[in-house]
Structure formats: C-alpha cells, structure tokens
Structure 1
Amino acid sequence: MDTDSGMEHITDSLCKVSAPGDINIAILGSVHFGIKNAQPWILPDLSACMMFDFITFVQTLAAIHTIETINDSGFLPGIKLGYQMCDPCSYAAKSLLCVTHMLNVNGSLPIISDFSSFNSPVKVFLGDRYTETSIPAAKLLGLYRIPQIGCSASAAALSDKFRYTSFFRVIPSNIYQTQALAKLLRHFKWNWIGMVTLDDEYGKGFYENFLPQAEEQGACLAFHEVVSHYQNVEERIKEVADRIRANSSVKAVLLILRVQQVEMLFQEMIKTNTSRIWIGSNTWSVASQIMNMKGINELGDILGISLIIGEVPGLADYLQNLTIGPGVRNDFIREYKQMRFNCSSGQQSEYVSPSACNVTDPQEANDDYLLHAVELRSAYNQRVAVYAIAHAIKELLQCNDTCCPGDTDFMPYKLLDVLREVNFTLDNHTYYFNENGDFETGYDIMMWKKNGDVRMSEVVGKFFVKNRELEIYEQNIPWANDKVPLSRCSDPCPPGMEKKMANNSCCYSCSYCSEGYYSNEMDQPNCKKCSEGYSSLPGSSECQKLDIWCLKWSSCYSIVVLVGASIGFALLLFSLILFTRHRTNPILQEFFAISCLMKLGLMVSFGSVILFLGSPNIHLCRAQQTMYGLGFTLCVSCILGKTTHIFLEAKSSNPAKQHKLKKLDKPFALVIVLTSGQVLICIFWLIFDPLNVEETPSKTHPLTVNHVCKQGSMHGFGAMHMYIALLALVCFVLAFKGRDDETEPIVFSMLIHLFSWLCFIPIFITQDEARPIVQISAIMVSNYGVIFCHFAPKWYKIFSEMADNSEVANHPEDPLGDADSGVITEAVSIDRMSQSQFSLAESESSDWDINSLSLSESHCC
C-alpha cells in the first residue's frame, strides 16, 4: 500500500471512537498497520501510526453496526450498549497502552490484590485482528479477569486457559488451520513446499504447529523464510522473492503473512512473471486489495483457507451511508472520508475518489468504495462476537421481554463466568465456546479465480473441525488442462514401481516392483504382494492368475509316457504268456517262477509311472513312490536271487563245498527278505518324512507354479533309491564275476539302471520342476533295460527253437525213414541239452579243473 504523506495519520489520542451506553464494550482495532519513527530506547516517544487498513476499518465498523442494531432491536430491553475503540496500530506495546487507557479509573490503572474488587469502566473487550496485539492484551486482561473475545487471532497458544484465563474467540485454534492446510497439501499431492512466515507470535506459532502436521501428511519444507513486520521489510521481501525463484522445483508456497507483506511479495513476483501455487492463511485469503492488484493473473493459482464467512445484514447500506450520530465520536470515519473525498492536497492516490474535487464537504460524502475494496463477508465474525457478548449480558442481567432487572454495573469476572456457558443461535447456526474458549466452526477452502484482470474468491471446499475431515469440491476447481499442478521433490513413480526413500522423506527414487508384487497407482510407497493364486512379473501394475503346471494328460510328454507304459505292459504280458506256454523249456524251467515275479515287479513299476500324470494329490504322491520302490525292488531282488543261484552253482564244484553253499541258495527267501527291507524303508519314510504336494514358482516359465509332489526332506527318497542301487550294484558284481550267457543280461540291465539314475540324479536335485519328468524317464529306461536284457534274448531263443523244430518237423525227405526219425529228434534234443550244460560249465571261474570240463562234455555226449 502507498505510504506517502497523504496516507499517514498521527494520532493525538489513543481512543478515537466512543459512544455512551449503560454497559461499555471496548474494541481493539488496528485501523493503521504501521509505525512511523519507532525508535526504541529514545524518549520522548515520537512514534505514530500510519498506513490506513481498510480491512480492519470495515471490521470495526461491522462491530459498531452490530452494537447499534442490537440497541435498536430491543434485544436488551432498557439497556443500551456503549463502546470505546482504540487503535494499537498492529504494535504489541501500543496494544497494552490501549488496554490500560480504557481500564483506567480517574486517570490511572489501580493495582489490585483481588480481581473481584476491581470494577472496570468497560466490561468486555472485542479483540484486535492480529495475534501479535491480542496476546499481550490477553495477559493483562487475564489478571483482572476481564473477558476478551477475539475475532481473528487464531494462535494455538491462546487456547491455554492457564496462561490466558479470560480469552475467548469465535474461531477455531490454529491447530485446526494447520491440519486443514496439511490435508489440503496431501489432497493435491503437493509434498515439496516453501513457507514464508512473519516473525511475530502468529507466524512462529503457525510454523511450530504446521511442521508436525505436514510431516504426518507426507509433506516436507524445501525452505522456510521469515519476514520481519517492523524492520527492513522491503529488503527482506526481495530476498524472499529471490529464494522462491531459485527453488524452481517448489511449485507450492505457503504464505503465513499479513495482507501488506503478501501484496509486496506479489509485486516482486509480478516483475519477473514468476508463477507458483500460492496458499494463504486466513489473514489474507479473502483480501480484496490483493485480488484487485494489477498483474495478479500472472502469478498462477491462488488458494487459501478462510474462517467461515457470512453476510452481515445491513452492513453494505451502512458503509454506503456512513454518518457519525449525535453523541458519537469516530475519528476513523473522518480520516477515511478526508482521504477519500479531499482533493485540496493535490495528491494522486488510488484511494482518492474521482469525484473528490466536486465534493463540497468530504464528511458529508459517501460512495460504495468500501464494498469493493474489502470482502464484507470477512467481517461476519465481528457480528458473531458482539452477539455472544449480548447473549451473555442478557443472561447475566436476567432480561425478559420487557426489561433487564440485573445490575448493569456488574463485575467483569461475572460476565466471564456466563460467557463460558453461553449457547446461542444466530442466522440459523448454533454457537458456543468449548473448554478452551474457542468456537469449533471450521474453515472454508477458497480459490481465487480469474475475473477479467482481477481475481474473485470462491469456496471450493470445507474443513470440519469436529471430525478433522477435509472436503474438496473438485468440480469447482478449474485446473489448466484438467491436470493438477505438481509440487514435488521427485517425479511421481508410475504404476509398477515403488518409492525408495532418500535422506529426505519427500525425495526418493523409483524402483520396479519385484516378482510377485505390484503397484497399481501412482507414487506408491511400497509394492503390494499379490494375493494367493496370483503373481506378477517384475515391474507389474497388476497381478495375473497363476498358471498351474503339472504333467497334464493331454500333453505330448504324457502321451509318450502312456504309450511307453502301455508298450511295456504289453511286452510284459506277452512275455508272461510266452514263458507260461514254454515253461518246460530248459531255458525257462529253472527260473520260471522268479521270472514271473520280475514281470510283476516291472508291471507295478510301469503302473507307478502313470500315477505321475495329471494333477497330484497327497495320496498319488505316496502311491507313485511306493509303487516304484516296491515294484522295482521286487524285480531287482529276483535278479539278485537268480544271480546268487548262478554264482553259488559256479562256486560249488567241490562236493563238500557244494553242500554248504546249497544252504545259501534260497532265491525265494532272498526275494522276500530284500523286498521286505524296502517295505520297511517306505513305511518309515511315509511316517516320519511324509510326502506332500507343493506349489513352487517355475524358474523357466513366468507366472507359472509347478504343482508337484514334495519328497519331504529327501532322506526317505534317498534311502529308497540307495537301497535299489545297492541291490543293483551287488547284482552287477556277482554277475560280472561269473560272466557267461546267463549273467551278461544281468550285467547290462544293472549297468543301464545305475547309469540312468547316475545321469538323472543331478538334474533331479537341481531342477525342481523337472523332477517328475526325470523320475519317469529313469523308471522307463530301467524297466525297458530289464525287459530287453532279460526277456528279449529268451524270446529270441524260444522263437529260434520253435523255428528249428518247425523246420525238422516239416522236412520233405527223411533218409532214415519213420523208424529213425524219433532217434534223430532225440539226438537233436540231447545235443541241445549238452549245449546248455556246456554253457553252464563255461560260466565257472578260471581255476576250474580241465578234467571236470572234459567229464562234463563226455557225459553230455
């Protein structure tokens, strides 16, 4: 605001406004907001108030208008409210001076030992606009127990009734304003902000209360600047402007300043066309003089939080027809009219009326300037405060419809007690003071929208004190391109990423969500885990249903396994039928029963392969392992029994030794004992290390879970296979030592079994998802190894004999005649028998006696 001499006014007395009444109300109003020639430690005090404040002026007029309305309405029958007004000029020391001046009795303020003995000429104070001037007044008035009702001083400290006993206010504490601002920042996701505050009690208290609220809502201060209200203001404002420009990443700046400092700062910003999101406190969020600044539309978006405002009935007419009634003193009205309508000084000011030089008497002139210069609704709290006083007086004086019988010269502390309990309705709203002497009305969220070359404020939200909830009317906020501007230390993390915090809680880097986690919104602090049955790839914004992998019946591998098992079954069945029909054949006769048990074991082993297909369950898991273990153990046990028999016969050339070895040659007993050993292993395995079904993520196929059998701790599984391997190894050693036509199949079949598992075990251990395929493959190889090594050669021999017999039987010419054919057939049979015995003899060890072999050949001949 212009500070030229036309706007300066030096007070010649403290109280320039007064009107007589039965009960007097004291009004503190900083109609001037500056001090001229303030020089501490220098006497006499030559300081004077200057710079007219239209907002405070209108607010004090609203209070006076409300007092006059109450007097005219008969609200207090027979009682007239009077008032005195003093201007502290926004200066704390002058505030105390005003209070002492209005409390003085016979020119002095008495020192009292008991507040109940002091009867003040004024019964209640209507507090000043600023916290800086309200706090010292509240401390002094608390000593005398004289109530003070604030209309806009919102410092949280004033809620402390131990320090400010007699202070009330018709607004909430700043605690709630800081909560509202912090939630406003959170709502629009502005977490990197700048803050500029005054160095007075209001600014300091606001900063202290706001900081924890901002941290709770996830916002951080990029910078905090403090501006003095009294010294080097313009120079400091320029420094703050430079700091704001330098922090280009800070798009939202919170201004906890008075109207005058905000106006100066905005002028600096307009010079460099600096655009930001400006957020104001209740001190300037509805200041019309800033809304009407030249170039205000270049500054960017402006939001603020305002005390709930309303219409003061009749105030507009009152301001357009300002008059000073009889018996009333109001030098501030005179000063305003002199400034507005006097042109004799020749000053050129935006506050001088264009028709000033056509006015004969400035004190008789009026216009509607105040209606446009000030947001009239901001004066609504003065109306509420005056009515709170009037209701308390009405209750104290026990007023009825016709009179107020109580004593009007009451002690102020009595009014203090009544105010604590007052509860009244005004303009369809109910008001009362809480235990801290505050109203719990709430706040309006304002946005300054462009209106030509100026701005106009509009309510775009509410903050409710009782439930601490913020409500934003999104449809009323016209963001450019429908995109909320950002004010952040770091760019937001897109879906599929999470924040990795740096040293500052608002500064972070973005990293992709790991597998099985997702983030489906912007700027998520942590990725969320997918629910059961779902998973995701790294960096995913959503989860997908997991594909369950198992050896499905329709898969190619399963079909191959089924075909292989079926062929195996068919070969075993064919072998069983063939061997049964030729069981008297010397090739089969000795080990026919053992051979049948081997086929049974292999059939069970082939059956276990089929159980690996399809979706497994705990019963199938147990059955597939035990069937293979017992089936193949039975087969190997039969082979070992046969091998032992051959080995013992080879070692029994000595008749004495032969008798002892015969006792060990018990193939069936050996088969039962060895198979029983595997039965015990399986039982202990299933009891102490049970199998189960597990789902493990696939290492090769994303978003796939392998639904396979879990082998427990592998101890039982290992014991089962080691047992089979041990039997196979013993078979191999015994057969290798007695190499002949009968033992060669044993050697090769056991080598195939051991080699297959030796190859498959490393894959089985390292690749969980390949375990079923590996085990099936090993079982099939082992089974077919036995079939082709043990049974196929015998098929060949049987078919060869059948072919030879068929050739002899169907010979067209027999030179020996029918009588000799039987002899020839018998000779052929004897010859084949001798060949068989010769083969058996050949399998004996190298230390056999050559004579024994000659005898044997002679016998066969």
Structure 2
Amino acid sequence: MASSGTCKLQGHFTLNGMYKDGDFLIGGLFEVQYLKAFPELSFRMEPKLPHCELFYMTSFQQAQTMVFAINEINNNPNLLPNMTLGYQIYDNCLRLGVAFRGATALVSGTEETVSDLNCKGPPPVIGIIGDPGSTHSIAISSVLGLFRLPMISFYATCSCLSDRKKYPSFFRTIPSDAFQVRAMVQILRHFGWIWVGLLYSNNDYGIYAAQSFHKEMQLFGHCVAFSEILPNVNNPIDIQRIMGVIQASTARVLVVFSPSSLLIPLMEEVVLQNMTGRQWIASESWATSPMFRTPRFQPFLGGTLAIAIRRGEIQGLQDFLLHLRPNTDQRNNMLRIFWENMFGCSFEIESKEKDGKQLKKMCTGQEDLSITKTPYTDVSGLRASYNVYKAVYALAHALHDLMQCEKGRGPFSGNSCADMSNLKPWQLVHYLQKVNFTTGFGDHVSFDKNGDALAIYDVLNWQPSSDGAIWFHKIGVVSEGAETGMVLMLDEDLIYWNFEIKKPPRSVCSESCPPGTRRATKKGLPFCCFDCLPCGDGEISNTTNAIECTACKDEFWSNPDKDQCVPKEVEFLSYEDPLGISLTTASLLGLCFCAVVLVVFAYHRKTPIVRANNSELSFLLLLSLKLCFLCVLLFIGQPQLWTCQLRHAVFGISFVLCISSILVKTMVVIAVFKSSRPEGKGAMKWFEAAQQKCTVLVLTALQIVICAVWLSTASPTPHKNNQYIRSKIVYECAIGSVAGFSMLLGYIGLLAAVSFLLAFLARNLPDNFNEAKFITFSMLIFCAVWIAFVPAYVSSPGKYAVAVEIFAILASSFGLLLAIFAPKCYIILLHPERNTKKAIMGRETQNK
C-alpha cells in the first residue's frame, strides 16, 4: 500500500510482447526468443534485465495464431456477440524466471498504481494461453491455482499436471505424457520391441515421462535395456558415456523424451561416430523439429517413428500471417523484433508533439512475407499452433456459456450467475471444465476431470525427400476413447525402414521361447533376458514365452514337442503284442502237448506203465495241466471284470487240482511200497480209487472256498494304474484283497511243499520205475519257479508283471508235464519192450 486506497507495484518488468485492448483480455506466454545467459548478479546493485536472442519463427507463428483466433472470434456474431476480446502476450525467452515475470505481469497488470482499497479485484486477464514448457507450467500453475485463474497450455505434457489438487485451474489442449507414453508402448508392442533403450531430458517433462514409461513397459512385460539422462548443457564427457552405453547395448530401439535443443550434442556425436542400425522413437517434443531435417542427419535418423501432436488446418491463417505489419506501439515490441530478424529492419524513436514518441522504421526494401519461405509462413503442419487455436476457442466458449446463464438457474450459490462486471476467475474455470465444441477442422474439444484434452496423436515416419533431406510422413493415428481404450492404426506399407533388410528390426534381449518350453530368468538381468528350458515330462506350454509349464491331467501326457496334452497310452498285455503272441503260442503249445500225452495214455491205458502209475490220477493231472495252460489266456487281453475275477480263481483251482493229484499219486506210491512189505499189508485200503478221488476233491474244494470268499468280499477289478509308468496307463487287474490272494498262493505253496517233501522221502524206493523221483524233480522245478516268481513279479512294471506271472504258470506247468509224463511217453513210444510188468517189477524180483 503506497497510501490509503492505492496499491502500487513493487517492481516493473520490461518484457517483449504484443498487446490489444478489449472488453476482456486473454494472456499468453510463448517461447519466441532464447535467453543465452542471465546478466551477472551482484548484491551491490539492482540486477540488470536479461537480453533475449535467437528468434524462433515457429513460436512466433504460435503467438500470431492466438492473435488470429481472437480476431476471428471478435468477427463471429454467434460467439461472444457485442463483446470484444483483447490480448496481452509475453515472450518467456525459454527461461523460468522470465516466464514467471510474465505470468505475474498478466495477473497483476502493469499499471504503476491501482485504485482499490483492499488491493483486490479480478486480474486484468481472464485466462492465460501457455506456458508451453512443463516446468514453467508447473511453477506458474502452482501460483495461479491459488487464485483459480484458468491456464490452458498448448504444449506442456507432463503427466504431473493432471493432479487437480495441486493444479485446480490448469487445462491443456495437448494430451499428457501419460497418453503419449501409452501410445509409444502401443507402437513397441505392435512391432514386438520389448527390449528398448531410454533417453530423457533432465527436467520435469523428461523425468515424469521416463517414470511413466518405465511403469507402462513393466505393465506389458517389456523391459528397458538402459535409462540415461541427457545433460542440460553440452558436456562432451557425458555425451561420450551415453554413446558408449548405446553402442554396448543389444537394444536396437531407442525411445527419447527430450526437447530438440538438448538432443543436438548427442545427434552430432551420432553423426561423428557414424552410428547406424538404430531405430529411433521420437516424443512429440522433437517429433517435428526442423533441426534434424537436413541431409546430414538423414542416414542416421531416417526411418524414425515419431509421436506428433495432432495436425490441424486453420482456414485464413496463412493470409493473416502474410499481412503482418510492424506496430508503432511500444507494447508490441515483439513485432519489431520479428521484423528485425526477418528483414534486418532497424527502428529509431522519433518525437512528435502530439503523439509523443513513435518508431521510425528503416528497412532494406524487402518486406513482402509471401516471397519468403520460413517456419513462420509454413502452415502445412499446424500442430502446436493448432493447439493454441483450440485453447483460445475453449476460453471463448467458456466465457460465452457463462454469459448465457439465466438468472435463478445458474450453477453457483443460490442458483446465481456470474456478474460480468466483476467476473471471478473460478467462475470461468467452472464453465471451462464443461466446455464442449467442435473446431472447423472437425476435431472435438473437451476436457476430462483432470483438465486433459482428448488423447489423439499422429504417428510420423521420417523419410528421405528428393533433395536428400528428411520429411515427415504421416503413417497412422493413435487415439484413446472412453470405451475403446488406446487404438493404434498404422499403414505399414507406408513406413520407411532405414535398414538393409527394409523391415522392422528385432529388439529383444532373448528370443521368444517357443511352445513346449518355459522362460527362466537370467540372474542379475531384467526379466526380458531369459533362457528357454524344455518342459518336463507330463508338462506342456502351448503359448509363446510361457512363464510356467502346465501339468497334464491324470489320463493325459505331454506329446514329444511338449506343447499339447494327449491321452496316455493304455498298456496291457494284448494278443497283438509280440510278448502276448509268444506267451499265447506257448500256452497253446502246452495245451497240445497235454492233448498228445492224453491221447498216448488213453491209447495205452491198459499197458503196465500206465496202469502202474494210477491211470485215473494221471488223466486228472493231465486235465488240470490243460486248465493251467488255458488259464494263461485269461491273463492276456484288456482286463475285464469277468476276466479279472476268473484269472486268479481258475489259476488257483487248476494248480490246486494239479498239485493235489500229484500229492495223492505220491502218497499212493508210498502206500504201494509199504503194502509190499509184511508190516504194511493194510496200507492200500486207505488209498483205494474212491479215497484217492475224494482226497483230490476235498483239497480242491478247499481252494474253491478260498476263491469264493475272496471274490464275494473283495473281488479283483480292472484298474487304470498311473503309478508304474507316469507316461502310460497300465490297465491291470487289482487283486482286491491282499489276504485273499495270499491265502490262494499260500495254499498252493503248502500243497506243493508237502508233495515235494513226500516225494523226496520216497525217491529211493526200490522200484524199476520209481515215479517218486520224477515227482520230486517236478516239485523241485515247481517250487523253484514260484520262489523266483515273487521278486520278479514285484520288480516288474506294468504288463511285464502279468508276463512274469504267465511265465511262472507256463514254466511250472511245462515242468510238471515234462518231469512226470515225458519219461513214461519215452518208454511207451520208443521202448515198448520196457512197458511190461516183468520189466517194471524186475528190480524188485532181483532184490528177492
């Protein structure tokens, strides 16, 4: 407060700018010039004002686009009728300090004194278009947000600016980096580039973009091979180090978030070192930079894919730009600077008595803008300028909607409307949040809850032009909708690839793992670097780059390629199997031998050798052996319920019938020997034919009872066993009750042991044809076979266990057949002279 009722500015800034009065003013901040260095500071004197240099024609075009849009709105009777808009535009010289001074001047005004008792009231401008830099926008919006003054940036993309709590009045007509990063990752995914290098500038734009990029890459399982910060100044040591990282990396795709000005030293080094073979992905901040369009950069940057701001068209803008003329108003010194840089004009101040000081222009004579070809006059690629155009119209539509408010139906307290004579910035922010219109180019403009515009980008490809330079060719569009999400549309036939193969490069740390394998991350490296390990037996992977192999279900197994589960092979001893054929043949052969012996015995049943060895028991023994050979057939073939129940029952009963017949034969031999002695005259009365048959039937009946109890309580059933061989299903007969099976075998073993013991004791009986010796030998074979059977059966897997059991049956049956009947058949058929009673009783007579 300078005095009562008066506010006075505490400082005054001399800024380059443009000005036009109106009912409402719109502020603007643009990067028209570049400040090389601040003046030296000293605490002894007030700092000198900075001097800006290096005029940017492109940025000046953007500022003029704002002027054009305001003029177009003022001439539009349907938008803000009976009201004119003015502007106050400042140059920020690409420096935060200058930008902040400009923003302060826009908010507080430039008048020396303000007649306001409380130094309050609406700011001179209703909103600000700019600043284009993210760092500048962050700093300025933090202050403007306190006053809820709307600020619409046309180029600040930092995703951090979407925070409505920190920046409540910030809007932008350019999508945030969050959308840009998603668009880039969509391109990387489209071409399968999962191993990429990242370069970013050391400012808010680059740092936040890099953070978003890392998160988005991880979300889709992609990896960043390296992440390097570009120096803010030309530091040869840092540049050399970054070049070494790029060349040492296996990544062939490089993503860069940086202003073009910070990329110049790196790209110069790329040219010097002749580094080719890299696919560059450019962010919007340098996607259309004219700095790299020269033929010098084409061999290295040609083929670059770039995410660019949406290009638009503005009718009448070029004609407006070409008719620009210098202005004598000191507040429009930006126009003077333009003419100085454009045509080398100089200006002198001349005095006039009435009008005061006025500029006197002195030029070279060439003042026609239409004959010059500069970035200022080029409207073929309106991107940032198109965003400026949309930003101005957004403010105008918001103000128009505010003016259309009907009393009593307003959005504010008490359904009130805004007072146009005392417009509050926050009231305009309310309408700006709801703005919704379509440009003359056909683009829809609105803002989401965070103040972000609808995301849409052009995808550009840097292609060689006829003069060897680079021109930007649009090859697609990437956009994001509320329902469709991020959508990428590319015309790959239009893409120029700067590689010998003229195809997209491969950029992976490790090649994809094919189906049938799984990824195993290499220790100490990102998860994109991995080895491909084959799936284990019984596991598959049917997708590329599978993280884990999936185990097949119980009845399925992996195929040889380990990419599909197929039904397991069902294994059982079949008749088609060579082993099954061999055993079946042996069984039928044994059956035939039994039949031949039976015929021989039947034909010679009245001969002494047949009668002397109890022909009825011999026939019964042959019959039981036939059953033993036949029961083998029940063990071959796919197990069925009835075959499982019969195989062991028939086997047990047949062998008991066989062994009991041999036991009775042995007992008869002993009884006959004893009856031949005086003390054993009555022994044979216990072994007459009836008693022999009855003994055999009783011993066999006991086995039948065991089988009946076993089958009725825990019957054997078909069972698919997965334990023996994991890759196969062994179809077998589960024995049901172990106790029942043990009793069956144990009973056979008991009879065999008793028979062997009796035959062994009677082996030396004085008889010319001592059958006890042959019975002993047969029982020895039988017992040896079945003793060996137990460990062989237990250790044999699958169908071979059945084969072992069959082999034991056949071996023991052949052993009994050959040991008992072969000697008799030998005498009957080859030596009939010995088949007489005298020959059989010869030894006994000789002993007498």
The match for 2:154 among 147, 151, 155 is: 151
Corresponding residue number in structure 2 for 1:849: none
**Structure 1 pair 258–600 and aligned structure 2 pair: CA distance change class (3 A):** farther
AA matched with 1:782: S
The residue identity in structure 2 corresponding to 1:736 is F
2:125 alignment partner in structure 1? 122
Cα distance change, pair 151–92 in 1 and its aligned pair in 2 (3 A) = same
C-alpha RMSD over aligned residues: 4.4
2:559 maps to what in 1? 536
Give the superposition deviation at 1:132: 0.6
In 1, the alpha carbon distance for the partners of 2:68 and 2:541 equals 59
Q: Which amino acid aligns with 1:395?
A: D
Matched, 1:735 2:759: yes
* In 2: Cα distance, 1:240 partner to 1:65 partner: 47
Residue 226 of structure 1: how far off its partner (Å): 1.9
SS in structure 2 of the partner of residue 499 of structure 1: strand
The answer as to 2:710 corresponding to 1:693 is: no
Sort the Cα spacing of 1:272 and 1:668 in 2 relative to 1 into closer, same or farther, 3 A: same
- Which residue number corresponds to residue 775 of structure 1? 805
Native 8 Å contact 2:715 2:736 kept in 1: no
Alignment of 1:46-65 (within 5 A): 46-65=49-68
Indicate the residue corresponding to 1:459 in structure 2: 475
- TM-score between the two structures when normalised by the length of structure 2: 0.80
Q: 1:544 to 1:448 in 2, by over 3 A?
A: farther
Q: 1:317 to 1:262 in 2, by over 3 A?
A: farther
Query: In the alignment, is the contact (CA less than 8 A) between 1:172 and 1:441 conserved in 2?
Result: yes
Who is 2:175 aligned against? 172
In terms of mean alpha carbon deviation, does 788-797 or 755-764 score higher? Answer: 755-764
CA contact (8 A) 2:31 2:94 kept: yes
The aligned residue for residue 651 of structure 2 is: 628
Q: Which residue of 2 aligns with 1:387?
A: 393
Corresponding residue number in structure 1 for 2:297: 295
1:303-322 C-alpha deviation (Å, 9 max, x unpaired): 22234333333334444444
Deviations 1:259-291 (A, max 9, x none): 111233212211111122212222112323323
Structure 2 residue 245 is the aligned partner of structure 1 residue 221: no
The reply to whether residue 411 of structure 1 matches residue 408 of structure 2 is: no
What does residue 7 of structure 1 align with?
A: none
> Once the 2 structures are TM-superposed, how far is the Cα of residue 768 of structure 1 from its aligned partner?
3.6
Q: Helix, strand or coil for the counterpart of 1:448?
A: strand
Summarize the alignment of residues 253-402 of structure 1 with structure 2, pairs less than 5 Å apart: 253-275=254-276, 276-292=278-294, 294-299=296-301, 301-323=303-325, 330-342=332-344, 360-362=365-367, 367-370=372-375, 375-398=381-404
- Choose the corresponding residue for 2:84, options 75, 80, 86: 80
The correspondence of residues 535-574 of structure 1 with structure 2, limited to 5 A, is 535-537=558-560, 550-574=572-596
Conservation of the 8 A alpha-carbon contact between 1:616 and 1:693: no
Cα 1:364/1:801, change in 2 over 3 Å: closer
> Could you tell me how far apart the structure 2 residues matched to 1:59 and 1:640 are?
119
On the 8 A contact 1:446/1:458 being kept in 2, the answer is yes
Matched AA of 1:484: P
Partner of 1:814: none
How many residue pairs get aligned? The number is 784
**Paired residue type of 1:639:** I
1:674-693 correspondence runs (5 A): 674-677=703-706, 680=709, 686=715, 691-693=718-720
**Residue 129 of structure 2 contacts residue 152 of structure 2 at CA under 8 Å; is this kept in 1?**
yes
Shift of 1:247: 2.2
SS in 2 for 1:489: coil
CA distance in 2, matches of 1:619, 1:648: 42
Quote the residue 2:243 is aligned against. Answer: 242
Task: Name the SS of the counterpart of 2:715 in structure 1.
Answer: helix
Which residue of structure 1 aligns with residue 449 of structure 2? Answer: 435
Aligned sequence identity (%): 27
1:344-382 Cα offsets, whole Å, 9 max, x none, are: 99xxxxxxxxxxx99505486652322559832343222
**Which stretch has the larger CA shift, 723-732 or 280-289?**
723-732
Residue type at the aligned position of 1:101: A
- Measured after TM superposition, the shift of residue 138 of structure 1 is 0.9
Read off the aligned partner of 2:202 and give its amino acid letter. D
Pairwise CA distance, 1:732: 2.7
Contact 1:495-1:519 within 8 A present in 2 as well: yes
Range with greater deviation from structure 2 (411-420 or 595-604): 595-604
CA–CA separation in structure 1 for the residues paired with 2:140 and 2:16: 16
Do structure 1's residue 501 and structure 2's residue 521 form an aligned pair? yes
- C-alpha distance in 2, partners of 1:264/1:111? 52
Paired residues of 1:618 and 1:709 also in contact (CA < 8 A): no
Per-residue deviation, 1:145 = 0.9
Is 1:486 the counterpart of 2:483? The answer is no
Give the distance between the partners of 1:323 and 1:604, measured in 2 at CA. Answer: 123
SS at match of 2:462: strand
SS where residue 52 of structure 1 aligns?
A: coil
Task: Give the AA of the match of 2:658.
Answer: C
Distance 2:101 2:83 in 1: 29
- Partners of 2:386 and 2:733 in 1: how far apart? 77
Q: State the alpha-carbon separation in 2 of the partners of residues 832 and 113 from structure 1.
A: 157
Contact 1:645-1:667 at 8 Å conserved across structures:
no
State the 1:566 CA deviation: 2.4
CA distance in 1, matches of 2:71, 2:249: 52
Q: Tell me the distance in 1 between the aligned counterparts of 2:606 and 2:503.
A: 96
**1:657 positional shift:** 11
CA deviation string 1:687-714 (max 9, x = no partner): 6xx5513467979xxxx84654265799
Is the alpha carbon distance of 1:291 and 1:748 closer, same or farther for their aligned partners in structure 2, counting shifts above 3 Å? farther
Distance 1:110 1:755 in 2: 125
Distance 1:667 1:111 in 2: 137
What residue identity is the alignment partner of 1:22? D
Alignment of 1:126-137 (within 5 A): 126-137=129-140
Q: Give me the whole-angstrom Cα distance separating, in 1, the residues matched to 2:319 and 2:640.
A: 89
Which region of structure 1 is more displaced relative to structure 2, 197-206 or 482-491?
482-491
CA separation in 1, counterparts of 2:657 and 2:334?
Answer: 117
Gap change, CA 1:92 and 1:12, over 3 Å in 2: closer
Alpha-carbon distance in 2 for matches of 1:182, 1:449: 22
Which shows bigger deviation, 525-534 or 234-243? Answer: 525-534
Could you say if the C-alpha distance between residues 785 and 86 of structure 1 is closer, same or farther in structure 2, counting changes exceeding 3 Å?
Answer: same
Instruction: Identify the match of residue 773 of structure 2 among 722, 741, 744.
Output: 744
Give 5+ residue unaligned stretches, structure 1: 1-10, 346-356, 806-827, 840-852
1:449–1:458: 8 Å Cα contact kept in structure 2? no
The residue number in structure 2 matching 1:511 is 533
Partner-residue secondary structure (3-state), 2:437? strand
Counterpart AA for 1:96: F
C-alpha distance in 2 between matches for 1:738 and 1:674: 26
Counterpart residue type for residue 731 of structure 1: S
Q: Aligned partners of 1:584, 1:49: CA distance in 2, in Å?
A: 140
**Distance across 2 between alignment mates of 1:533 and 1:362:** 86
- The AA in structure 1 aligned to 2:56 is D
Is the 8 Å Cα contact of residues 172 and 439 (structure 1) preserved in structure 2? yes
Map of 2:71 onto structure 1: 68
In the alignment, which residue of structure 1 is the partner of 2:437? Answer: 424
Matching residue of 2:6: none
CA distance in 2, matches of 1:515, 1:448: 51
1:607 partner amino acid: L
Q: Distance in 1 between matches of 2:619 and 2:792?
A: 34
Distance (whole Å) between structure 2 residues aligned to residue 258 and residue 71 of structure 1? 35
Distance (whole Å) between structure 1 residues aligned to residue 510 and residue 118 of structure 2: 61
User: Helix, strand or coil for the counterpart of 1:172?
Assistant: coil
How far apart in 1 are the matches of 2:400 and 2:154? 21
- Please identify which structure carries the higher helix content: 1
1:753 to 778, 782, 789: 782
Secondary structure of residue in 2 paired with 1:97: helix
185-194 or 318-327: which moved more? 318-327
SS at match of 1:306: strand
1:66 Cα shift? 2.3
